[in-house]
Amino acid sequence: MWLIDAKTTRLVHVNDVADKPRYAILSHTWGEGEVSFRDMSARSSRISRKPQRRPAWSKIENSCRLALSYKCDYVWVDTCCIDSSSSSELQQAINSMFRWYERAEICFVHLADVSVDKDHNRLKSAFRDSRWFKRGWTLQELLAPSTLVFYDKTWSVIGAKDDADLRGSISEVTGIDEYYLNPANRIVFTSVHQWLSRASVAERLSWAAGRETTRAEDMAYCLLGIFDINMPMLYGEGIKAFKRLQEEIMKVDDDCSLLCWGYDMAQEALTIFEDESSILAPHPKYFKNCRGIKPCTLPGYMMPSFSLNQRGLSIKAPILDDITHAHLSYVVLGCGFVPETDRSKEQDKAASRLFVSLPLVSNGACKSRAGDVETQQGEYHRPTWCRPTLVSMKFLKKAKLKELLIRRAASKSAVTIRRCPFRLLFQNSPLFKTEHVVAIYPPQPIPGALASLGRKAMHQTGFWDDSDKRNPLSDSYVRKICSDNSSSEGDDQDNQLLSDVQVMIHLKFSASEMFLVTVELGDSIGHRIFRCRLYQCAKQLGFEDLHALSISQDYDQLRILGCDHMGGYFSFKMNDESSVAVEAMYTSMSDIDRVIIGVHEKGAAS
C-alpha cells in the first residue's frame, strides 16, 4: 500500500496489514491534470525538483494539511497512490480499496463543485447536485469510513456524515437509508460489510442505480467491497463484469432479492436489452426501485434455494402455474416488499406481507433456430420484459414447491419466444407517460410484437360469448377488421371467433382517475379481430387483481365507459365532463398489425 507522507508530501510504501499506520484518506471526483503515481514517484526520488504548479496539486497539499491536523502522519489519494501501469497492483488496489477506506482514521470528501455559503438542505442545493453523489466509486467511499467530513471547493468545512441534518440530505440524494449512514449503528458489528449486510442484496445494488463510471466494467468493480467479493479485473468485458459480480454474490449469499431486478420499472425500460432473456441484470439501474425489498420467510414453505450451473439457474421454490396461459408460471421468491413507513418496524405479520413473484415463460413458448418448439420439461426463460410483481399470502398458498431451471440467456438467433402478428405500443403525449401504466397482464414485451403465451381455449372467448352479456359482435366496442375488404359482420361464424391475445392494462393518472383497458386481438378466416374496452376503477389494481380478473372474466365490478369509433379507431371519454379521451388505434401493416394506445384532448389524436 502506497501512502503520502503528510510532512514531506512524498510516497512511502507500507504493509497495510502489518504496519497499520494512522492515515487519512481523500475522496473526490477526478478532473483534468490529476497528480499521478508517476508524478509522485519522480518527486519522491528527487528526479523532479520543480515545485508543483498544476491546480490538482492543491488536493495533495490540502489533504496533507488536514491529515496532520487530525494527527495522521500519512494520507492516501487514489490518483497517485496506485501504480496503474502494473495490472497486478491495480487489481490488488481495487480489491482492497473498501478495506483501506474502512481502516482510515478519517475521510476527507472534497466537493469541487460546491460552495460552503449555501443552504445544503435545500432541494436544489449545489451540495445535493454535486457530481460526487453520482459517481460509482464514491459509493463505497461514503459507506466505508467511520468518520467522514465534507469540504467545499475552497476546502472550507461543510459538515460531517454523522451530522443529523446533513445525513438526512445525503439519504434523500442517494436513496440510502439513514441507518447505514450513521456510524453509531456500526459499533456492534465486527466489520462494515457485516453491518451493510443487514440490507438485502437488491437494496445494496439499488444504492448504485443512479451512479455512473467512466468504464463500464467499473460499475461492477466499485461494488466489490460492499459485498466483500474478490474477483479478477477484466477490462474489455463491458457489462459482463456486472453479471460476473452477481454470479460471485450467488456463491456466498442465498438472498433471492438478487433476482428482483426490474421491479416497479417502466415497461419500456425493460425492452432495450441486448438479450431477449436474462437471469441477471446488466446494470445496477435495474435495481433502482428495490430499496424496500427485504428477505423474508415464506410461511408453509422452505426457503427457496438456488444454484448456477452451465445451463442456467436451478431454483427450488413455490411455483404457481398461470390458469389462463399454458406457458406462464410464477416463482415466489424468499423476499418481500416493506413500505417505507414500516421499515423501522419488525415485519413479522406474514398475513399482511407482500411477497415478490417472478413471472417465467416455459420452453413450450419458445422455438429454436431451426424453428422447432422447445419442449424441455421444467425449463423456463426469464424474458427481460417480465417484471417482478408483488403477491399476497392468498396467492402464495396456491403455489406448490417445485424445482425448475431458468435457462441462461441464449443469442436471439438460437432460441426465441414465439410472437403473435400484433404489436402494442403506448403513444407518449403531454397527457400520457409510460409511468401512468401501473400494471399489465399478462406480461408482454410492450412496445413490441406480443408474445404467444398459450392462451387456453376455455379463456379465449371469456364473457364475449356469454349470452347474459351484450352481444360483442353487434356493440360499438368491438370492431372486426376485414383483411379481404369484405364485410361479413353478423355472419353466424362470428360467434365462433376466438381471440389469440387478451391484454389488460391498468392506467393511473391520479387517485381518482384509474382505468382498465382491455385489448383482444385474434385471427379468423380472412379477418383480424380487434376488441377494445375501457373501464373506470374505484381502486388501484395490481398484478394479482388482473390475474384474478383474467380467470373470472367478471367485469361487473367495473364501470364501462362509452365509446366513439370509426374503423379501427376508438375513443373513450374519461368522464362525461372531461374533454380528455383514452384512445386506441388499430393499423394494419404488411406482416404485423399495430394497436397504439394514447391519451389526448378529444379530437387531437395524431
**pLDDT value of residue 191:** 92
For residues 389 and 269, state if they share a domain.
yes
For residues 376 and 275, state if they share a domain.
yes
Q: Give the pLDDT confidence of 301-332 residue by residue, as tens digits.
A: 998 999 999 889 999 999 999 999 999 999 99
pLDDT-derived band of residue 342, with 50, 70 and 90 as boundaries? low
Q: How many domains does the chain have?
A: 3
For 380, the domain range is 254-417
Residue 239 domain flag? no
Residue 227 domain flag? no
AA letter at 79 = T
Exposure string of 171-189, with b = 16+ CB inside 10 Å and e = fewer, is bebbbbbeebbebeebeee
For residues 460 and 577, state if they share a domain.
yes
For residues 398 and 434, state if they share a domain.
no
Give the integer Cα–Cα distance in Å for 425 and 418.
18
Residue 246 domain flag? no
- Neighbouring residues of 46: CB distance < 8 A, sequence distance ≥ 6: none
**pLDDT value of residue 275:** 61
Beta carbons of 572 and 602 less than 8 angstroms apart: no
Residue 237 domain flag? no
Q: Give the pLDDT confidence of 255-269 residue by residue, as tens digits.
A: 999 999 999 876 555
Beta carbons of 92 and 101 less than 8 angstroms apart: no
Model confidence at 411: pLDDT above 70: no
For residues 457 and 593, state if they share a domain.
yes
Q: Give the pLDDT confidence of 540-583 residue by residue, as tens digits.
A: 998 999 999 988 888 888 989 888 877 678 888 877 666 678 88
- Neighbouring residues of 327: CB distance < 8 A, sequence distance ≥ 6: 361, 362, 364, 365, 452, 453, 454
**pLDDT value of residue 475:** 32
Pairing of strands 419-427, 478-482: unpaired
Residue 248 domain flag? no
For residues 145 and 182, state if they share a domain.
yes
**pLDDT value of residue 465:** 35
**pLDDT value of residue 461:** 41
Q: Give the pLDDT confidence of 183-224 residue by residue, as tens digits.
A: 999 999 999 999 999 999 999 999 999 999 999 999 999 999
pLDDT-derived band of residue 100, with 50, 70 and 90 as boundaries? very high
Beta carbons of 110 and 27 less than 8 angstroms apart: yes
Q: Using alpha carbons, list the distances in angstroms from residue 599 to 379, 424, 432, 571.
A: 40, 15, 6, 9
For residues 346 and 483, state if they share a domain.
no
**pLDDT value of residue 486:** 31
For residues 62 and 25, state if they share a domain.
yes
